[in-house]
Amino acid sequence: MDCRSMESSETLRNKCAACYKQFNKMEHLVEHMKISYHSGHEPTCGVCKKHCRSFESLREHLIGPLPKQECKNIFSILGCRFCLMILETPNARRIHQERCQFSSVNAGLTTRMAALGIRDKDMIDYTSSRSPKVVALSCKMVGGGSDGSLDLCARVCITDEGDNVVFHTYVKPSMAVTNYRYEKTGIRPENLRDAMPLKHAQRKIQEFLCNGEPMWKIRPRGGKGRILVGHGLDHDLDRLQLEYPSSMIRDTAKYPPLMKTSKLSNSLKYLTQAYLGYDVHVGIQDPYEDCVATMRLYTRMRYQKHKIEAYPLAADAHNRSNQVVWRQNEFERMSPDEMLSISRSDYYCWCLDSLA
């Protein structure tokens, strides 16, 4: 074997089995695997099986400015433009894509109904055994302060997985409103005149989410607490002055597979258009519309089929102890595929909720 063949063989041996990056030395590949957290939970190209950090990265790989040409050609014939899955035949792709695209909710109609009090539902039966395990929450803000830039929660909506309204009410802010932001919120002074006080709404929502379980006891699996879905939930919960365990929150603005390649958040408007196939935030914005969109995104992520692992997270104690036990030279004796097989994700994949 000549030197050129030996170099080619060595380079192939130092190629990451997930993202296909190549390294000059095996020790560099080992370091890459330690910090990349590749796993079977990453978005993966259905053609070449390359792992991508996010669906945006996968989209660029398939149809971006500089795509992998072979993958682009196959995707253009067999790929779904919403979930980025590769189907077996063009006809299967057509049928799948029709099912993959959602219809928009009639935001204008629901806004007018809410303004008339038709859809207001300010009582929650949180003791019902048939009550939902997963709910979506969205708030709409009016402005406070001298310049109207301070966000004040003036309307809140909670829906279940079937797009049913569980709770909806206008909220009376604890300080004076100086800008109703009517063009976006559709909220008028008369909507807040006899609205539910913020503290009252906060208590109702907290009791509903905890579902009779103490806050310290709430956990994703086996508990009574409800999984909370939304977009930018940190802000919504802050404006509601409400605390909830981070392990129970599914935020589409912070979920790594739904973020930009720059690791910044995508807008809900973009995510809904790109992954669900319809537009939101056209004219007056309705919290019900946001709840439906975030729940649909969550459901799409949750029901992805990934390999079941006993310890799926890099932070699991079992995996941390393995990293300590394995020494550098033992890693270097592994093949790239063997390294990938023991690599674990650094984020909680929502598909794990289906196992609860």
Ordered DSSP codes for 257-287? GGS-TTSPPPPHHHHIIIIISS---SSS--H
pLDDT at 310: 82
Average pLDDT of the chain, as a whole number: 88
Q: What is the pLDDT of residue 125?
A: 53
Find out whether 199 and 171 touch, Cβ atoms under 8 Å.
Answer: no
* Reported pTM: 0.90
Closest CA to 218 of 229, 231, 207: 207
List all residues 6 or more positions away from 245 whose beta carbon is below 8 Å from its beta carbon: 215, 218, 219, 225
Contact 289, 110 (CB under 8 A): yes
Look-up: residue for tokens 């189907």? Answer: 87
Structure tokens at 350: 């929502």
pLDDT given for residue 105 in this prediction: 79
Query: Which tokens in the block code for residue 139?
Result: 């708030």
Per-residue model confidence (pLDDT) at position 73: 97
What are the two backbone dihedrals, phi and then psi, of residue 142, each rounded to the nearest 5 degrees? -105, 175
**pLDDT of 11:** 55
Q: What is the mean pLDDT of residues 231-258?
A: 97
Give residue 128's pLDDT. Answer: 46
Counting Cα atoms < 13 Å in the Cβ hemisphere of 175 gives 13
pLDDT mean over 47-67: 96
For residue 243, the SS3 value is coil
- 252-269 residue pLDDT tens: 999 999 999 998 999 999
Helix ranges (DSSP H) in 69-172: 69-78, 90-100, 107-115
What end-to-end distance do the CA atoms of the chain give, in Å? Answer: 54
> Residue 125 has which token pair?
């039966």
Q: What is the pLDDT of residues 30-39, one digit of tens each?
A: 999 989 999 9
pLDDT per residue as tens digits for the range 89-118: 999 999 999 999 998 876 444 544 444 444
The model's pLDDT over 150-208, given as tens digits with 9 standing for 90+, comes to: 999 999 999 999 999 999 999 999 999 999 999 999 999 999 999 999 999 999 999 99
Give residue 4's pLDDT band: very low, low, confident or very high (50, 70, 90).
Answer: very low
pLDDT-based confidence at residue 351 (cuts at 50, 70, 90): very high
Integer Cα distance of 297 and 229 in angstroms: 9
- pLDDT for res 104: 85
What would the mean pLDDT of 53-73 be, rounded to a whole number? 96
Distance (Å, rounded) from C-alpha 217 to C-alpha 215?
Answer: 5
**Where does the pLDDT of residue 286 fall: very low under 50, low under 70, confident under 90, or very high at 90 and above?**
very high
All domains in the chain, ordered by first residue: 131-303 (3.30.420.10)
